[in-house]
């Protein structure tokens, strides 16, 4: 992925956001700690890496030891001011801290059993997702317009802040808006009147809780992306924010919109897909590095070839081709239903069965379908 410098104004704004988050984290104590190894552990006093080299790595978007070990050598060598010899030493010291070798399947199973899932607000939707949206992986929401993709993103931006016992992840949300559809009013209505049915045997009224509207908004760092280069620069900025404070969710709504406009025609298709693949890999790196849930939305495109319509009644397919299909761990297909009802189908997942359920979009966010 190419290195993108952010403007001085954007850097100053990011510092203000980090400062406000750090003040809140001091009040939260150890619960707000970020479970990563910061680059400062490689400094000269312990590992022999000069502070100047660490500063250059941070300016390029690498803030943790994990981020260095997950990145190809040729990408690190491209950082201005760092020679190949310095990069080799940095990689060597980083690899001695982060284990990149084999482990037993039992250890993998234990780690996955401890994964946090973020509730969607709908008990039926949580059920087909195995408890909610999985952290540490990329979840793709695709469908036509008005199928609830953005509404679900708004809902998750609030529920990710909830305590573990209430289906949350006790973390903040980073929200990157590429289409101008982020609406704070939806966050407010969801936070004020959010109702979750956590267990079947509990009275729904007993499960109703209220989240401070001010806290819900302050815990969401949002940015509008205007082109693919700006989008990449925002990811670099996101990495800096995650290294300083606890985040549990990263939303990109939509992940494909800017790539469809900044690249046009078949002549630029290869370049678009290559750029898209690097972008998605960066998202996966952030997910692996910080353990956040990454939720992206995707468009639908109609297949101009109608020869398969006899066997395929739905000629539409998600955009992005195989690049985005392979990058997404869980793919959810959203369709319109009657009124405010929507249908969600598990389109692809390595662990979830292919099934579907219905949910509704209400004033207070995502809910179960009501039997009226």
In tens, the pLDDT along 230-286 reads: 999 999 999 999 998 999 999 999 999 999 999 988 899 999 999 999 999 999 999
Res 46: pLDDT: 72
Write the pLDDT tens digit of every residue in 141-157.
Answer: 999 999 999 999 999 99
pLDDT at 36: 82
Q: 């509730």: which residue's tokens?
A: 119
- For the sheet containing 365-367, what is the strand order? 220-224, 172-177, 247-253, 293-298, 138-143, 330-336, 341-348, 356-362, 365-367
For the chain, which residues score pLDDT lower than 70? 1-34, 44-45, 193-211, 304-314, 372
Res 207: pLDDT: 43
pLDDT at 1: 53
Q: What is residue 71's predicted lDDT score, i.e. its pLDDT?
A: 92
**Claim: this prediction has a pTM higher than 0.75:** yes
pLDDT at 30: 44
Neighbouring residues of 82: CB distance < 8 A, sequence distance ≥ 6? 53, 56, 57, 76, 90
pLDDT at 205: 43
Give pLDDT, residue 197. 37
């Amino acid at each position: 992925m190419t290195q993108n410098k952010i403007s001085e104004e954007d850097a100053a704004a990011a510092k203000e956001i980090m400062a406000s988050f750090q003040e809140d984290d001091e009040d939260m104590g150890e619960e707000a700690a970020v479970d990563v190894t910061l680059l400062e552990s490689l400094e000269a006093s312990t590992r022999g890496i000069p502070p100047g080299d660490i500063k250059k790595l941070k300016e390029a978007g690498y803030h943790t030891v994990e981020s260095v070990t997950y990145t190809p050598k040729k990408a690190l060598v491209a950082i201005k001011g760092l020679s190949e010899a310095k990069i080799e030493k940095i990689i060597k010291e980083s690899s001695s801290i982060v284990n990149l070798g084999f482990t037993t399947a039992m250890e993998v199973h234990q780690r996955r059993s401890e994964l946090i899932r973020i509730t969607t607000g709908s008990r039926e939707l949580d059920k087909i997702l195995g408890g909610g949206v999985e952290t540490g992986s990329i979840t793709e929401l695709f469908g036509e317009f008005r199928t609830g993709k953005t509404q679900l993103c708004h809902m998750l931006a609030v529920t990710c802040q909830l305590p573990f016992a209430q289906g949350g992840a006790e973390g903040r949300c980073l929200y990157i808006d590429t289409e101008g559809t982020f609406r704070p009013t939806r966050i407010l209505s969801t936070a004020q009147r959010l109702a979750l049915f956590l267990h079947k045997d509990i009275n729904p009224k007993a499960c109703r809780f209220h989240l401070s509207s001010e806290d819900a908004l302050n815990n969401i760092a949002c940015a509008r992306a205007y082109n693919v280069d700006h989008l990449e620069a925002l990811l670099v900025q996101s990495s800096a924010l995650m290294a300083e404070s606890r985040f549990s969710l990263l939303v990109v709504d939509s992940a494909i919109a800017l790539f469809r406009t900044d690249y046009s025609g078949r002549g630029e298709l290869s370049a678009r897909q290559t750029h898209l693949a690097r972008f998605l890999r960066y998202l996966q790196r952030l997910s692996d590095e910080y353990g956040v849930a990454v939720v992206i939305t995707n468009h639908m495109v109609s297949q101009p070839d109608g020869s398969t319509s006899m066997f395929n009644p739905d000629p539409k397919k998600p955009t992005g081709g195989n690049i985005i299909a392979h990058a997404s761990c869980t793919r959810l297909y959203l369709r319109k239903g009657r009124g405010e009802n929507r249908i969600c189908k598990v389109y692809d997942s390595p662990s979830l069965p292919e099934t579907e359920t219905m949910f509704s979009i209400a004033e207070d966010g995502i809910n179960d379908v009501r039997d009226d």
